[in-house]
Amino acid sequence: LKEIVFVIQSQSNSFHSKRAEDLKKDILKQAVDLGKELPTVLLIHQINRHEGAWTILPLMRDFSITYGRNSSWIFFCEEDTRIQVTKLLETLRRFDKSKEWFLGKALYDEESTIIHHYAFAENPTVFKFPDFAAGWALSIPLVNKLAKKLKSEPLKSDFTIDLKHEIALYIWQKGEGPHLTPVPEFCTDDVNSYKVDHCATTFSNFLPLCGEPVNKEDVFVAVKTCRKFHGDRIPVVKQTWEREAALIEYYSDYADISIPTIDLGVPNTDRGHCGKTFAILERFLNHTSPRTPWLVVVDDDTLISIFRLRKLLSCYDPNEPVFLGERYGYGLGTGGYSYITGGGGMVFSRTAVQKLLASKCRCYSMDAPDDMVLGMCFSGLGIPITHSPLFHQARPMDYPKDYLSHQIPVSFHKHWNIDPVKVYFTWLAPNTEESPNGKKVGYNREDL
């Protein structure tokens, strides 16, 4: 057990860091109960203050220097991964620790997808990448090799979009490095499932709820739109999730009383919407009730469950500066910053908006990408991005089915080549337990 270094892919937000600490305690308690020497358990957000620590590859040199001699495996997991330490030991013993191993639960794309830059377009199913929820492992010889390679050959892409796929690509080295070896004992079934007898890991696949869901009136929803989409995108919002929101406003470049939209006096731009988003933040701070703690900014083609979001927000303290959604990274190999990608929805605590607007950080141009500028600003203020995998920048078919099977999603984005109303009622509409009248509305996920 002392040859395994456990690395929990943790975050510094108080809710997440507590969950990671609980997992660390559980691993150490299991080691004590087994009468074994205690393993090393690291929390990524504590390893160093490097902004890109969550992307893991920048840490390989540290891992190689610190653990390269006396350890055999680095085992990574998420804060909600549950580990049976004895079964994990049995599983890892099957593999020769002197060789280069990349172990995990394999995911693959059913069709080539924009979030993976349409990689392996001829046959996307050939390339396997790990489901982080099940845990994944690198043998020390592979860690040492990666550390060496990163020294001479920095990461190519400026953007981190889907970390699990990008790590697998980097390790694979166009076929010269190891492929992911699928390990059946790395599981994402719920710990209470009858299927988990053979599993070394399980995953608690529920929507966190830390008390009563926050009140409807605690969430202010801002929808960014423009005149050319009033006719096709706004009706979808009204048919689907608008009724879940108590406080909602539509911001456009044209005041249309039939919706109604509010013209913020910011002309529409074809590219980023930085000017518009900052105008929304100012309006939220100055023209809504100071008792409304949460702001959600979405695009007019974002599909979102406000009902589930209210459950999720019960876990966060609005007195902390919270900036929540799906995390991407820019230039993290060389400093850079993380940001919340806009299409999946950006959630702000009022405290975060206050701190941002009190600073002098603003758009460098009206059509700068709003989500990236916000990431840059919060990074400069030392306010961490809080990632939730339940927000999605793309459509359901852009993700592996097996990955979505252990999620209760909060959002998807884009109407391209889908029936957005059907997607909403399949993936996001309150189910029988959730819906106000107790009636199930929905389609079969397999149809989509």
The predicted pLDDT at position 268 comes to 84
Q: Supply the mean pLDDT for the chain.
A: 93
d(CA 420, CA 397): 12
pLDDT in tens, 5-23: 999 999 999 999 999 999 9
Q: Does position 233 have pLDDT exceeding 50, yes or no?
A: yes
Question: Is 4-203's fold the same as 216-428's?
Answer: yes
d(C-alpha 207, C-alpha 26), whole Å: 21
Question: Which two three-digit tokens encode residue 205?
Answer: 């696949």
Spatial CA neighbour of 396 closest among 199, 109, 171: 109
* pLDDT value of position 408: 95
* H-run or E-run covering 220: strand 219-224
> What is the per-residue pLDDT across 213-230, written as a single tens digit (0 to 9) for each?
999 999 999 999 999 999
C-alpha Rg value of the chain to the nearest Å: 22
Q: Give the pLDDT of residue 440.
A: 44
In this structure, how many other beta carbons lie within 10 angstroms of the beta carbon of residue 262?
17
Q: What is the pLDDT of residues 275-318, one digit of tens each?
A: 999 999 999 999 999 999 999 999 999 999 999 999 999 999 99
- State whether the Cα torsion 124-344-367-375 is positive or negative: negative
Do the beta carbons of residue 410 and residue 308 sit within 8 Å? yes
Q: Give the domain 4-203 fold.
A: Spore Coat Polysaccharide Biosynthesis Protein SpsA; Chain A (3.90.550)
Q: What's the fold here for domain 216-428?
A: Spore Coat Polysaccharide Biosynthesis Protein SpsA; Chain A (3.90.550)
Give the pTM.
Answer: 0.95
Q: Using CA of residue 150, residue 330, residue 382, residue 315, what is the dihedral sign?
A: negative
> Confidence class of residue 335 from pLDDT cuts 50, 70 and 90?
confident
Query: To which H or E segment does residue 345 belong?
Result: none
Give the start-to-end residue ranges of the domains of the chain.
4-203, 216-428
- Position 193 scores a pLDDT of 83
H helical segments located in 228-344: 234-239, 274-287, 306-313
CB 42 within 8 Å of CB 48: no
Task: Tell me which of 40-44, 73-77, 143-147, 427-431 is least confident.
Answer: 427-431
Q: Is the pLDDT of residue 205 over 90?
A: no
Say what the pLDDT of residue 257 is.
Answer: 97
pLDDT of 436 higher than 50: no
pLDDT one-digit tens code per residue, 20-60: 999 999 999 999 999 989 999 999 999 876 778 999 999 99
- Min mean pLDDT across 221-225, 241-245, 443-447 is at 443-447
pLDDT higher than threshold 80 for residue 445: no
